[in-house]
Amino acid sequence: MSLSAATGAAAFDMTASTYPLDLSDELAEIIRSDNTSLLSRVGAMGLTATEKTHRWVEDSLNANTATLDEDLDSSETGIDVATDDGDKFKIGTLFKFNERGKTEVCRVTGVSNDTLTVERGYGSTSGETHSTGAEIMIIGHTKQESWKPSQEDWTKERTAAYNYCTIFGLGLAITYTRQEVELAGIKSEFAHQTAYRLKEIMRSLDSSIINSIRSASEGGDSDYGSMAGIIEYVSQAGGNVTTTEESLTETVTNALYKDIWDDSGGSIGRGFILVGGALKRVISTFDQAYRRNDFDSTRAGFTVEKFLTDLGFELEVIVDPWVPDDVMIIGDLDRIKVGPMRGDAIRVENLARTGRLIEAMVTGQYTMEVRNSTSAFGIHRNLA
């Protein structure tokens, strides 16, 4: 015997749209709105560009380190250093080798391009063997009583750096009818869509200042201009770049910071570590074995917001979802600026109405600076 069908309107005939709706003004958003991103820490109004190619000037001190370009026995007096490192030495320069257990000091008696003639085992020290690639630390440049500044020039020319601007834009087109229809939880379809497009533009800007690649030109008929992000800047030749495949540890972090500290002469202002979610979780396990909780604790888990290097400097840990999972960047927040082209900050512009459409665009044009990117920053790729 078959079951009889109900007559009239039954409860099981109701569709989803028939049930009561939550008419709260704020709808659920599947979008980030936190303040942990790099953009939130740098700010989007740190500079104002006045040209499509944004330029700035960088200055730095003369370097006080060089690199040995050969293996040395304990008595050899002709020393080869890396290309262009010879300019860092003058007759009378004292230097030593930054190798474990080495104490020898040498004095320069002649300079010919990148070959130094030196006095080995200067003063109370003795000659020692040294290996190719050893770091040379310049102690100082001693002078004779009759020395004249005109005999040498230590003037260091400033260098110019640049970046291009990126134009961001998203369009809106809503019919009159859709705008006027009463919607659950939304007072204005146009305002709602505009707010979401603004968030998407800011998301793109945050991703761009990390991952964007500088275009071949500032833009033209056949090319759209795009800025370089921080990863491209700090990955340049001559920078503190490590690509060793290894796990992220305190030792690895301290080693990268030491390279930056050496190159910048210890001049790091607001130091930071920039990582994605995967490596942030690893950083939060640093020194885990030494932590203890009180027995009455009602919470479990740890997070690390700042990392103290073994040199005694504190680095803020910034986690941003647009950083690749195998990348860690260490640097100085004071040397990063992000900002719009003059008069072209992110905004909503209503467009002329055509037909039965309400049209607008969300747009803005931005660029960024990363100053002293090869000395005050460092990047480690290929981290597990």
List the beta bridge partners of residue 106. Answer: 95
CA distance 145 to 363: 65
**pLDDT (tens digit, 9 = 90+) per residue, 135-145?**
899 999 999 88
CA neighbor of 79 nearest in space, from 127, 29, 44, 20: 127
- At 93-130, the pLDDT tens digits run 999 998 889 999 999 999 999 999 999 999 999 999 99
What are 208-241's pLDDT values in tens digits?
A: 999 999 999 998 888 899 999 999 999 999 899 9
3-state secondary structure of 341: strand
pLDDT at 300 over 80: no
Inter-residue contact 329 to 274 (CB < 8 Å) = yes
pLDDT at 15 over 70: no
CA gap 161, 56 in Å, rounded: 6
Quote the mean pLDDT of the chain: 86
Between residues 260 and 301, the one the model is more confident about: 260
pLDDT score recorded for residue 338: 94
Query: Tokens standing for 182?
Result: 């009463």
% pLDDT > 70, the chain:
86
Average pLDDT over residues 346-356: 87
Q: Could you tell me if 321 and 206 are in contact, meaning their C-beta atoms sit under 8 angstroms apart?
A: no
pLDDT tens sequence across 67-86: 999 999 999 999 999 998 99
For 12-36, the DSSP string reads GG--GGGS-----SSPP--S---S-
* 347-350/328-332 β-pairing: unpaired
CATH class of 65-144: mainly beta
Measured in degrees and rounded to the nearest 5, phi and psi for residue 189 equal -60, -40
Is residue 275 pLDDT above 90, yes or no? yes
Q: Decide: 96 and 102 in contact? Cβ < 8 Å.
A: yes
Which band of pLDDT confidence, cut at 50, 70 and 90, is reported for residue 31? very low
Helices (H), 212-276: 230-234, 250-263
Nearby residues of 112 by Cβ (< 8 Å), 6 or more positions away: 86
pLDDT of residue 125: 95
Nearest to 311 by CA among 274, 271, 284: 271
What is the Cα–Cα distance from 375 to 64, expressed in whole angstroms?
A: 13
DSSP assignment of 267-291, as one string? --SSEEEEE-HHHHHHHTTTTGGG-
User: What are the residue ranges spanned by the domains of the chain?
Assistant: 38-58+161-286+302-380, 65-144
Note the Cα 324 to chain centre separation in Å: 12
Which residue, among 231, 259, 170, 214, has the nearest Cα to 38 in the 3D structure? 231
